[in-house]
Homo-oligomer: A and B are copies of this chain.
């Protein structure tokens, strides 16, 4: 089938992939007319089916269908592509009703990461607590909102800002979408944090039983110290570029279990679970219960120059930007 892309985000993992430090490799090909094999960047996105053959028809596809990528490595930073049904997942008509291309194009990675980390470790029940760092990231905001919908309570750690007004504004924005407690990494590592955590959690009677970590280093160890015995701690990123350091007593006596989570692997291993997660999140978006992460729309029209697009990727590569960059394709 032939696809026309509608929206494709720039995720940190895409950058790592280009840098060659990501274990999942892109697809190299000479099929795009180059003498030497090249690869197209981008792992996430939504596309419209604009033409299809017998194989796609008998698999139930029709013109105008929206598809997302089944796994990583497809190369979504392009206007058009040809694909086989095995490379994509169809968004059913009911699922995409009222959903914008940006929403559909960014649902596979961040919201699904938050979804599965909250569901897959320790079976949190209504009223129970989790703690996370990087809480204003795409995954962080998704976890806050899914947690709120599922009746979970959250302690959210953000990096402190020099601009205290901006910091307060950020804290408020996370509380607005459902964060119960928001603190900075400095507050997390201050003395007396254990007593404070007790206060938040009804005198410790509602223990914190899950930690979600995308930072690593000292701040992650400090976060793990607030967990109750027999909790789970899930690492899905390492923004500090530090390893995770765990005191022996946290393993032996507190019996905390340390895991990692990689959404690509999960998607490949459990495609049906991923489809379910995607549909559930889209349904929440439709009902207004799940707000988009702030995005920076990057128009990709017929006349857009390659250099402009490359510059936008470099912006992400070089670090901090408020809002995730998303290529939004013109109808060409």
Q: CB within 8 Å of B: which residues of A?
A: 23, 216, 235-238, 243-262, 265
Q: How far is the CB of A13 from chain B (nearest CB, A)?
A: 10
Which residues on B sit within 8 Å (CB–CB) of A265?
A: 253, 255
**Contacting A255 at CB < 8 Å: which of B237, B243, B255, B260?**
B260
Which residues on B sit within 8 Å (CB–CB) of A256?
A: 260
State how many copies of this chain the complex holds.
2
Which residues on B sit within 8 Å (CB–CB) of A253?
A: 23, 260, 262, 265
Which residues on B sit within 8 Å (CB–CB) of A216?
A: 248
The distance in angstroms between the C-alpha atoms of A247 and B260, with both chains bound, is 11
Q: Closest residue to A255 on the B side, CB-wise?
A: B260
Known: A257-B257, A257-B258, A258-B258. A247 touches B243 (CB 8 A): yes
Q: How far is the CB of A249 from chain B (nearest CB, A)?
A: 7
Cβ contact within 8 Å between B258 and A246: yes
Cβ contact within 8 Å between B248 and A246: no
List 19 additional A-B contacts (Cβ < 8 Å) besides A235-B248, A250-B260, A256-B260.
Answer: A23-B253, A237-B252, A238-B252, A243-B247, A244-B245, A244-B246, A244-B248, A244-B251, A245-B245, A246-B246, A251-B258, A252-B261, A253-B260, A253-B262, A253-B265, A254-B260, A257-B257, A257-B259, A258-B258
Cβ contact within 8 Å between B260 and A252: yes
The distance in angstroms between the C-alpha atoms of A23 and B258, with both chains bound, is 21
The distance in angstroms between the C-alpha atoms of A23 and B247, with both chains bound, is 14
Q: How far is the CB of A217 from chain B (nearest CB, A)?
A: 10
Q: Closest residue to A242 on the B side, CB-wise?
A: B248
Which residues on B sit within 8 Å (CB–CB) of A250?
A: 260
Which residues on B sit within 8 Å (CB–CB) of A252?
A: 235-238, 260-262
The distance in angstroms between the C-alpha atoms of A254 and B257, with both chains bound, is 16
Q: How far is the CB of A21 from chain B (nearest CB, A)?
A: 9
Which residues on B sit within 8 Å (CB–CB) of A258?
A: 246, 251, 257-259
* Sample of 9 A–B contacts (CB below 8 Å): A235-B248, A243-B246, A243-B247, A244-B248, A253-B262, A254-B260, A255-B259, A257-B259, A258-B259
Q: How far is the CB of A16 from chain B (nearest CB, A)?
A: 11
The distance in angstroms between the C-alpha atoms of A98 and B259, with both chains bound, is 44
The distance in angstroms between the C-alpha atoms of A253 and B261, with both chains bound, is 8
Which residues on B sit within 8 Å (CB–CB) of A23?
A: 249, 253
Cβ contact within 8 Å between A255 and B262: yes
Question: Looking at A244, A247, A252, A258, which has the most chain B CB atoms within 10 Å of its CB?
Answer: A252
Cβ contact within 8 Å between A248 and B238: yes
The distance in angstroms between the C-alpha atoms of A246 and B256, with both chains bound, is 14
Q: How far is the CB of A215 from chain B (nearest CB, A)?
A: 10
Q: How far is the CB of A182 from chain B (nearest CB, A)?
A: 24
The distance in angstroms between the C-alpha atoms of A253 and B258, with both chains bound, is 14
